[in-house]
Every structure is written in C-alpha cells, then in structure tokens.
Amino acid sequence: MGVVSVTWRVGGAALRSVGAERLQRAGAAGERASPPGPRQSPSPGPKPAPAPAPAPLPHSAAPSDRTETSGEAPSCSSDQAAGYPTAPPRVLTAAETERLARSRKLTPSSTSVPPIGLDISTMTTELIPDEDGFYSKAKKYWKNIPPTVDGMLGGYGHISSIDINSSKKFLQRFIGEGSGKASAGCALDCGAGIGRITKRLLLPLFKIVDMVDVTESFLAKAKAHLGEEGSRVGNYYCCGLQDFIPQPQRYDVIWIQWVIGHLTDTHLTQFLKRCQKGLRPNGIICVKDNVSQDGVIEDEVDSSVCRDLSSLRAIVRLAGLHLIAEEKQDNFPDEIYQVYSLALR
C-alpha cells in the first residue's frame, strides 16, 4: 500500500501523519489535513492541538480483519508480597524486573482480539507498523528530557497546580468511607516520571504509593523530588507499562496520566485488564490524558499517539472495564489538546 507522508513543521517540531488511506481509516483526516496550532516544543503531556478541520471526512467501516495478537509475555512484575513494604524501597532496574518476571514464568494475562462489532476503526496497528521502534524511540526521547516538572509537562509546568487540584476533586469522589468507596491504602502511579502526581496528589491521600516508569533516571530523581514523604513510596518499578504486571489486588487506585499515548491499542487494552486484576475491592483506575477531536494522531517526536474519546472508550470496553465517570479538564490553555479524566473499574 502506498503511503503519502505529510510533514508539518511548526515552532521547530515536526508532526508527521500517514497516507490518505490511513487518514480515512483512522477517521482523523480532518484534523491532520489542517495545520496544527502553535507548537512551542516537542511536548509530551499537555500538547498543542491541531486546529479543527472545517469538515471531517467520513469514517470507513471497521476492517473485519483487524486482529492483533498479544505478542510477547509481559516481562516486568511487582516485587512485593501482599501487604505493605517492610524494606526500604529502591528502584528495580529493567534487568532486575525482567529477571524477576522470568523467574515467575509470567505469561500474558490474555490475548487481545477485538470482538467484532466494537469500534476498532482507530486501532493503532496501522499507524505503528514497527512496534519495537515505537517503544525504543519513546524510551530514547524520555532519556533526554530533564527530570523536572517542566520536563514532565513538555514546557507546561505552570499548569501543574490546576491539573493536580482538579484531579484531587475528581478522585475524592471515589475514595473514603461509605459503601462503594475505595480505601485510602495503596495507590499506583503509572508513567510516574519524577513523581509530580505521586507527590501532590497520591501521597497526600494514600498511605503507600508505588511508582512505575520506563525511565530509570526519573525514578532516581523522584527520591529527591518527593522529599521526606517519599519514604511512603512502596516500590519504584522501572518498567514499560506494556510489560508491567501490577500485583493482584494490591491497589485502591491506579492512576495513569499522560502516558497511554505511549502504548499501542493492544498493549493498552491488555495493561488495563491487568490493572483491573490489581484492584482491591471498590478500587478504581483513573486515566487522565490528552484527547484529539477525531481519530488517532501520531506524534513522531516523542513516539506517541493521541486518541479521540470514542477510541479511548472502545479500548476501555475491550478491556472489560466500566466507565464510572468522565470529566473534561477546565482552565487549561486553549492551544493544547483537551484533557479528560476517566474513572474505571
């Protein structure tokens, strides 16, 4: 299949989209065909969004042969027995987590063949032909980002407080006393970086917080960034979420922010399934991330994708999760993608 590449260059950063056929299939042609808004820097986390298109092209039907197999077994796992840690935590290296996983003979929790009938028209399979390259490029990208709040937010460090305050309000609806509420015992911060969220959202609300991120230097920096309260971090896992297996029934809340774009649809679906198994009774999973207006948009700079809300909801359904609440983030700068929080269980 011929692929026509379109490259935008705005503010020094390049966004490249795939060919016209793919554009139509992904239902994202409208967005991609128009020039994106201002883009200050290659910015993961909050990102300048493309300008809306005047008239989107119609979606094509979901291809019936769109199946993905699970690929390799996840190679990282929690290193903590049931209950809270007794030994001082330290960062498990990628090699250690891999060894640990191998020693436990871990197998994938499931395969992921999307059931016919679900909206899978935006599955990332075609956008990401080279899966290994997709992950290794992202890993390389993050290795070169400064371990600061601004680095975590792609130059938008100044919106961190607005983000955290809204997240706190959102999360507090689901935790505390009373039937159906999650306890305030243990939380997991996924794609935690230096612990921006762990520090200001999760540690103030939970007794213990575990962190997982693919970038070892961020986790190392987290120890200083978190200060004394960091003593309540149970585990630092250096691991890609595509490989990470949360310890079953350990978590009251699993927080996943500004990182799902680094996972393929299949890996995201599988990861969410594993997260569900990691929940304690009444536990919830919160996903907070950029959403595009329509379709899946690729970012070649940080090697990620931005999904629209309906694609994200379809993945949630595929993972067998229920959407408990959904909220749009207010008061973010106009030029960035819209950000949504989803509570799932």
Ligand X SMILES: C[S@@+](CC[C@H](N)C(=O)[O-])C[C@H]1O[C@@H](n2cnc3c(N)ncnc32)[C@H](O)[C@@H]1O
Q: What is the rounded CA–CA span in Å between residue 280 and residue 104?
A: 22
Q: Is residue 254 part of the contact set for ligand X (CB under 6 A)?
A: no
Q: Which of 234, 240, 246, 295 binds ligand X (CB under 6 A)?
A: 240
Q: Is residue 193 part of the contact set for ligand X (CB under 6 A)?
A: yes
End-to-end CA gap in the chain: 40
Q: Is residue 50 part of the contact set for ligand X (CB under 6 A)?
A: no
Q: Which of 30, 42, 48, 191 binds ligand X (CB under 6 A)?
A: 191
Q: Is residue 44 part of the contact set for ligand X (CB under 6 A)?
A: yes
Chain-centroid distance, C-alpha 107: 22
Torsion angle (degrees, nearest 10) of CA 138, 141, 146, 151: -60
Q: x/- site string to ligand X, residues 117 to 146, per CB under 6 A? A: ---------------------x---x----
Torsion angle (degrees, nearest 10) of CA 317, 179, 340, 195: -110
Residue 160: other Cβ atoms inside 10 A: 18
> What's the closest the beta carbon of residue 208 comes to ligand X, in angstroms?
18
> What's the closest the beta carbon of residue 275 comes to ligand X, in angstroms?
13
Q: Is residue 246 part of the contact set for ligand X (CB under 6 A)?
A: no
> What does 75-139 look like in DSSP terms, one character per residue?
-EE----SS---SPP-EEPHHHHHHHHHHTT---S----PPTTS--TT-TTTT-S-HHHHHHHHH
Q: Is residue 218 part of the contact set for ligand X (CB under 6 A)?
A: yes
Binding segment toward ligand X, per CB under 6 A, in 1-9, 61-69, 224-232, 255-263: 255-263
Binding segment toward ligand X, per CB under 6 A, in 32-40, 189-197, 273-281, 316-324: 189-197
Q: What is the rounded CA–CA span in Å between residue 187 and residue 279?
A: 9
Site for ligand X, rule CB under 6 A: 44-45, 138, 142, 152, 191-193, 196-197, 213-215, 218, 240-242, 257-259, 262
